[in-house]
Chains A and B, each alone.
Chain A
C-alpha cells in the first residue's frame, strides 16, 4: 500500500516537474522578443573603457602604470614603445648635395632655385681676381725686410704668396623636406608587446587613437526613438526619393537646444512637407536617451531622414 502511494506521488512529482519544466522552456519570454534592429556587432566593453581606449591625446599624461601588452608571453618588456626603434633603416642625413643641373627646362614661373646660391661662393674665391692683400703679408717677412734693408726687397714670392684660400665650407643647408626622412614613420608599437596580462590600454597619443565615431551605436538609438513620432506624409505611389537633412543640437539631458535647422531648401511642395514631418518628429520625440559617454558626438549632428530602400 505504502509503496503504491509513493509511486503515484513520484509519478505526480515527475509529471509536475515535466510539465512545469516544459512550460518554463516553451512559455519563456517569447513575447518580449524585439524586432531585429540593424546594428553593429560589438564586444562587451564598458562605455568608459571604450572611450578610454579610443581617445588619443597628444597632451595627455601617461598615467598608465602597466606596460602595454598585446600578447601573453614571456615578459619582454619594452619600457616605452614610443621612440623605441629596432629596425630602423639607415637614414641618410647628408649635407645638402649641390643640386644636379636640371636638364629639364622648367617653365618661366619657376622660382630661382635656392641651391644656386650655394654654388655662388664656389665661384667667387677665384684666386686671380683676388688681389693679394697687403696686410696679409707675412709679418715675419716684414721683419726680415726691415732687418735687411739693403738688399732690394725680393718680391715675397713665396712668403707673401697669399695662403691658399680655404675652400669655402659648403654650408650645411637645412632642407625641411628632409625632416621626414629623419623620422621613423613606423608605428612604434609594431612589435607585439608581450607580457603576463593583456593590456591594450596603450600609451596616449598613439596613431591608434583616432577621432571617435560611435554614431552607428547612438545613431541607431536615436533613429528608434525619433521613428515613433515620425509620420511620413503620403507622397503617392511614385518614387520621389525624398530626403531631409536636419541639423540638431542636443543638451546633455537629450532635449533640443534651439530649433532643428533643415540643411536644404525643399525643391518641391512634397519635399517641404517631408522635411516638416521630420522636424515635427524631432521636436515631438525629445528628450532623447543617448549614451552620455558619446555626448561630444551627439551634441550636434544631422539626422538624414529618408525612406526605407
Chain B
C-alpha cells in the first residue's frame, strides 16, 4: 500500500480502531468475527422491511436438580413464559410442540429439533435444592439459528422466592433479546376496591407486576388514594381521608409503620417522591387554590415551589431530579407544565384539544405520560418532554392514572368501564400496540409501579 493510500484511508481506520477498542473494553465484542477494516467489502444489496414480530421462544420446564424440584422447575418456566408473553415482544411456543426433552442443561441442545418448531431462542434451566436448604437456579439462553449461548447465569435464593428468581431470569432474557432493560422484577402498589358501589372499601394493596403475591397494606377503614413508591421500594406515600382533612402519609412496607408528612393547615394531596427518595413533593390547599410544596423528609423543612391563584397539582420529577412536570389550570383548563425543580417559571407543554392531567415523567426521561379528557372520553397518552410527539395509547369511557414500568417501555393505568362494574388495571406498551389486563383479586385503581427490586 502506498503512502498515498494510507493517508486516504486513515480517518476511516482510526474510527474503526477506536470503535473496536471501545467495544472490546465493554466486553461486547466477545470474539464476534468482524471483517477487517481494509478488506474490500462485497456488493451490498438492500433488504428493506422486516415488520416487527414477536420472537418465537421455547421455554421448556426447568430441569429438576433433585427429584423434589420438578414442581418449582415447572413453575419458574411458567412465570417466565407468562412474563415474556405479556410483554408482547415474545411468542412463547406451546410446550406440547417440543420435540427434544431437555434433561441436561450442561450439554448443548439439539438445535435442529428446536429449529423445526420454528423457535429462534431457547431457554434451558435447572432448579436444585442445595444441602443448606437454599435453591439454586441456573439458566442458559440459546440462539437456535447460530447455535450460540447468548447468556447463562445462576442464582441462589430461599425456596419461597422462586417467583422472584423467575422474574429476574425473565429480565435477563428480555434484556439480551430486546436490547432494553427488563421490568419484570418489580412490584405494583394499587388501591384494591371491594364491595358494592355505594359502600366501596378501598385498601392499599401490593403485588408483583404480574399480579401474583397480593398483600393488603391497610384495612380499609379509611379512604386511600394515589399511592406512590419511593425509589428504595421500601416506602409508599399516599393520601388518606382520615377524621379531618385528607393528608399525605408515609408508609413503610416492611414494618407497617405510617406517619403524616408535615403538619399543614388544610388538605395535602397528590404526593410523590423525589428521585433520590429524600423529599416528597405534594399539593397543599390554600383556599380555593392549591400550590406545590416540597418537603425534605429528614429536616422536615418545606419549600414552596409555585404561588398562583390556580390549582397546581400532580407533580412528578424528571429522573435526574432537575425538572418536574405538573398539572395546572392557570390557563383556564387543566394543562401540563414543566418547571425547574427548584421553582421558577413554568412552561406549558400540552396544547391539544381537551384537558390534560396526572402527568408522570418516564424513568428513562424521554416521555411524559398523561390522562387526557375531551369529547366525553378519557385517554392515556404520552408526549415528549417538550410537548411534541403526542401519542394516544388507549381511549375510552374512563382511563386514568398512568404509571411507568421501570424501563419506561410499558405503562400501567386503570380503566373503569362504567355501569355497575368497577375499575381494573391494564398495561400498554408505549407504542400502544400491546394492551394487557393485569389480574387482580377485586376491582383495582390508582396503580403505581415500583423501580426494579434488584
A residues apposed to B, CB below 8 Å: 213, 215, 219, 222-223, 226-227, 230-238, 245, 247, 259, 261-274, 276-281, 283-284, 297, 300-309
> Are B177 and A283 touching (Cβ within 8 A)?
no
Contact A301 B43 (CB under 8 A): yes
Q: Is the CB of B89 within 8 A of A234?
A: yes
Quick check: is B115 within 8 A (CB to CB) of the other chain? Answer: yes
- A-chain residues with CB within 8 Å of residue B34 when the two chains form the complex: 261-265
Chain B residues positioned under 8 Å from A265 (CB to CB): 19-20, 23, 28-29, 32, 34
Chain A residues in 8 Å Cβ range of B44: 245, 301-304
List chain A residues, Cβ under 8 A from B45.
215, 219, 222-223, 301-304
| Interface flag for B130 (CB, 8 Å) | no
- Of the A-B pairs whose beta carbons lie under 8 Å apart in the complex, a sample of 5, sorted by A's number, is A219-B46, A227-B49, A231-B50, A270-B180, A303-B47
Could you tell me if B146 and A259 are in contact, using CB atoms closer than 8 angstroms? yes
Q: Is the CB of A283 within 8 A of B431?
A: no
In this assembly, does B100 line the interface, its C-beta being within 8 Å of a C-beta of chain A? Answer: no
Residues of the B chain whose Cβ atoms lie less than 8 Å from the Cβ of A303: 44-47
- Kindly state the separation between the CA atoms of A231 and B145 in the bound complex, as whole angstroms: 13
CB nearest to A219 among chain B residues = B45
Residue on B nearest A220 in the bound complex, by CB: B45
- The 10 A-B residue pairs with the shortest CB-CB distance in the complex, in nearest-first order: A269-B179, A270-B179, A219-B45, A273-B179, A231-B53, A283-B145, A232-B50, A230-B50, A280-B145, A303-B47
> Do A232 and B53 touch across chains, with their CB atoms under 8 A apart?
yes
Which of B33, B89, B115 is packed against the most chain A CB atoms within 10 Å? B33
CB A107 to nearest CB in B, in angstroms, measures: 19
Q: Check A227–B47 contact: CB distance below 8 A.
A: yes
Interface size classification for chain B: 35 or more
Q: A226-B47, A276-B143, A303-B47 are in contact. Are A247 and B179 (CB under 8 A)?
A: no
Asked if B288 CB lies within 8 Å of chain A CBs, one says: no
A262 touches B32 (CB 8 A): yes
Give the residues in chain A near B366, CB-CB below 8 Å: 238
- Do residues A273 and B177 form an inter-chain contact, with CB atoms below 8 A? yes
Q: How far is the CB of B176 from chain A (nearest CB, A)?
A: 8
CA distance A14 to B177 in the complex (A): 65
Partner of B48, one of A264, A271, A274, A308: A308
* CB-based contact A305/B146 at 8 Å: no
Q: Total A-B residue pairs with C-beta atoms closer than 8 Å?
A: 137
CA distance A278 to B145 in the complex (A): 11
Encoded as 1 (CB less than 8 Å from any A CB) or 0, chain B from 37 to 55 comes to: 0000111111111111111
Given contacts A247-B42, A270-B179, A276-B143, contact A308 B431 (CB under 8 A): no
Nearest A residue to B148, CB-CB? A276
Contact A234–B178 (Cβ < 8 Å): yes
- Chain A residues near B64 (CB-CB < 8 A): none
Docked pose: A87 CA to B23 CA in angstroms: 63
Q: A269-B180, A273-B177 are in contact. Are A261 and B35 (CB under 8 A)?
A: yes
Complex Cα–Cα for A102 and B324 (A): 76
In the complex, what residues of A have CB within 8 A of residue B56's CB?
A: 231
Q: Which of A226, A266, A279 has a CB less than 8 Å from the CB of B145?
A: A279
Cα A236 to Cα B193 in complex, Å, equals 33
- List of B residues within 8 angstroms of A268 by Cβ: 179
Which of B42, B47, B88, B409 counts the most chain A CB atoms within 10 A? B47
Q: Knowing A247-B35, A307-B48 touch, does A283 contact B42 (C-beta < 8 A)?
A: no
B17 CB, nearest partner CB in chain A, Å? 11
Known: A247-B41, A265-B29. A236 touches B431 (CB 8 A): yes
Distance (whole angstroms) from the CB of A263 to the closest CB of chain B = 5
Chain B positions 400 through 434: 1 when the CB is less than 8 Å from some CB of chain A, otherwise 0: 00000000010000000000000000000111000
Fill in one digit per residue for B163-205: 1 if any A CB lies within 8 Å of its CB, else 0. 0000000000001011110000000000000000000000000
In the bound complex, residues from chain B placing their C-beta under 8 Å from that of A280 are: 120, 143, 145-146
Task: Encode B213-225 as 1/0 by CB contact (under 8 A) with A.
Answer: 0000000000000
**Would A233 and B178 be within 8 Å (CB), given that A265-B20, A280-B146 are in contact?**
yes
CB neighbours of B42 from chain A (8 A): 247, 300-302
CB distance B43 to A215 under 8 Å? yes
Q: Which of B113-133 contact A (CB under 8 A)?
A: 115, 120
B55 surroundings in chain A (CB, below 8 A): 231, 233
List, in ascending order, chain A residues with CB within 8 A of B88's CB: 234
CB within 8 Å for A279 and B146 given contacts A262-B32, A262-B34, A304-B44: yes
Given contacts A215-B43, A284-B145, 15 further A-B contacts (CB under 8 A): A226-B47, A230-B47, A236-B180, A238-B366, A245-B44, A269-B179, A273-B178, A283-B145, A297-B43, A303-B44, A303-B46, A303-B47, A304-B47, A307-B49, A308-B49
* In-complex Cβ contact of A284 among B33, B46, B115 (8 A): B115
B51 close to A232 (CB less than 8 A): yes
Q: Which residues in B have their C-beta under 8 angstroms from that of A300?
A: 42
Interface contact B41-A305, CB-CB below 8 Å: no
Say whether A232 contacts B52, CB under 8 Å: yes
* Contact bitstring B5-22, A, C-beta under 8 A = 1, else 0: 000000000000001100
